[in-house]
Amino acid sequence: MAIRFDGRVAIVTGAGGGLGREHALALAKRGARVVVNDLGGARDGSGGSATAAEAVVAEIEAAGGQAMANAASVTDAAAVQAMVDAVMARWGRVDILVNNAGVLRDKTFAKMELDDFRFVVDVHLMGAVNCTKAVWDVMRDANYGRIVMTTSSSGLYGNFGQSNYGAAKMALVGLMQTLSIDRTSLCHAHAGRLERRRRRAGTGGGSLRRNFGPGRRDRAGDGGRPGLHRADQGAGGAEGLTPCVDAAAGR
């Protein structure tokens, strides 16, 4: 079954190159309107320019898609909120968030400055927190949302010279899992209310509760692109609320 995102709006952070660019192009190819966010700085986070984001937007538009560029730093909560406000003003919705922005400042722990450790954690972890917080109520009010985190084996297993990066990436796993639990608990309560209303109205049907729960996970990815399936509008349970572990939105 083909995965489509027609009518959906996706924000992809760190989308000016690499994996983020691939996310943005793949979502746009499947019909999503895409916000290409990228600070445009160097690999270590220094500098900044909207050029990288604008180049990806140009690729999407040349292929017949719709996109807008944004050069906000994900570490700046006010700038992230302004980005979401601009998206809502232009397209009126945010359906998908891919938290992909990141930097590298690799050194052995003995040689690493604490500022470099903090900065990497700030971009990867707090950047994801800032973006997720900015879209959370939008998705909750729409009763629909998909949030994907880009993590790494460096977090799960460690990697030489990447104590900062590994710690940040493993923290994203904890954030992702906890958001899913928060959301699932809320969904259970929401499903319970819907069941009671339905019973009072005398309508039949199976239990809504069985559609939710941390034990339910998505199907395999689309052609080696699990991120695409995680954002698929058909991946969720009842009422458009997705129970997969890397997406969280609900009542």
Which residues are known to be catalytic? 165
Residue 6: partners with Cβ closer than 8 Å, 6 or more residues away = 30, 31, 32
